Amino acid sequence: MTTELLQRVRVIDPVSGTDQIADVLITDGDIQAVTSHISDISPNTQIRDCQGLVLGPGLVDLYSHSGEPGFEERETLSSLLQAAAAGGFTRINILPDTSPTIDNPALVAQLQKGGGEKISPHLHLWGAMTLDIAGLQLTELADLANAGVVGFTDGSPWENLGLVRRVLEYLQPLDKPVAFWPSDRQLSLNGVMREGAEAIRLGLPPIPASAETSAIAALLELVAATGNTRVHIMRVSTARSVDLIAAAKNAGLPITASTTWMHLLLDTKSVKSYHTSLRLNPPLGNPTDLAALRVAVRTGVIDAIAIDHAPYTYEEKVQAFAEAPPGAIGLELALPLLWQHLVETGEFTAVELWRSLSTRPAECLKQQPSAVAPHQKAELTLFDPQQNWKVERQNLYTLSNNTPWYGQQLQGRVVQTWC
């Protein structure tokens, strides 16, 4: 029997909405007590002074990319899971855009074994909606659902609204969410940056906000017409999108939504560095977009913050800004940076941030959220908001370095996770 006592730790529990200093007793992976003071303990209890540390439910990442299978030089499942644990994530959900694509039960069963770590985050898989490159042939949705996928997505913009409607109809009896990334490719064309004054100043091809909002409007019309399939809207990045989603939720449509962590921290002004890790898709928004996204997360219009961890090799990212593949790593960086820029500044409460990274992502997937409460499994993250560290190769578990914070000092780091 292993018993741990965390003394004087700051406990953040979004399920109960509490933020308190308490002692937490954990025995063999179960939370035994959370109270102001615990003195009645067994002689072999491991006592840990956690004054100044923050304890909350394990973080849940809605969607991220794995290099394995197919691109193991970017990331293996083992390195991905280690990076997730180091970043405080106890559940991670992998997009199906691997090579081969996660579109059959055999591959699902193979990948569900994870990276072979003894203690690692719970690995869940999104199943692909379509089989072919053109995205016109549906996968065997029922077989994938029975194999245990968490939901369905292609993780890329759709080409055919008729197919989207069919997916919404076919998935109704399966009770699995489907995630869509709304982006009109005809409006996006070869754009790499949000349309506006900064794009003109930097000479980069623009993407209008309407590329996203027109696609969201079309998707919401189909959701309203087809019934009760649960739809998740991925990668929301514009202020107008927030308005459309709020109106749809007020009308009772069965939707949830997420934005990515970098869209809450940076806007188009950051792109002046031409750092290719700021080449994202959707692109970083204008300052008004960033402000609207922050308010939407706090108020629940946007349910969750996703990491959308996208590892690439050094060679892939060392190109001209417009030629580099879009995406950045984030599993080990998101919590420290979000805490530093949102909680420490007073814009978010600790409960608001933790809720959007833990309980709400779980609820989007109809999973039971973890809680810091007696008689619950210890699925927890212990975070030191004051620890300083440098983002460099020897301090990262991920195999890739594509982040604009590489080489910089950060404040705040995860100390331990209980999976």
- For 37, half-sphere exposure in the C-beta direction (CA atoms, 13 angstrom radius) is 1
Tokens standing for residue 113: 């074994």
Give the single-character DSSP code of 272: G
φ, ψ for residue 179, nearest 5 deg: -110, 130
Rounded Cα–Cα distance for residues 76 and 71 (Å):
8
Rounded Cα–Cα distance for residues 293 and 10 (Å):
27
Rounded Cα–Cα distance for residues 145 and 105 (Å):
9
- For 249, half-sphere exposure in the C-beta direction (CA atoms, 13 angstrom radius) is 17
Rounded Cα–Cα distance for residues 283 and 234 (Å):
13
Buried b (16+ CB within 10 A) or exposed e, 14-45: beeeebeebbbbbbeeebbbbeeebeebeeeb
Amino acid identity of residue 77, one-letter, is L
Closest CA to 23 of 14, 12, 10, 15: 10
Give the single-character DSSP code of 138: B
Whether 308 is catalytic is: yes
φ, ψ for residue 71, nearest 5 deg: -135, 55
Burial (Cβ within 10 Å: 0-12, 13-18, ≥19) of residue 373: middle
Cα dihedral value 338, 342, 348, 349, nearest 10: 70
Catalytic one among 61, 267, 308, 384? 308
- Name the 3-class secondary structure at 187: helix
Amino acid identity of residue 321, one-letter, is F
Tokens standing for residue 178: 């489907």
Tokens standing for residue 62: 């809605």
Closest CA to 259 of 216, 222, 205: 216
- Name the 3-class secondary structure at 292: helix
Give the single-character DSSP code of 128: P
Give the single-character DSSP code of 411: E
Amino acid identity of residue 208, one-letter, is P
Question: Which residues are tagged catalytic?
Answer: 308
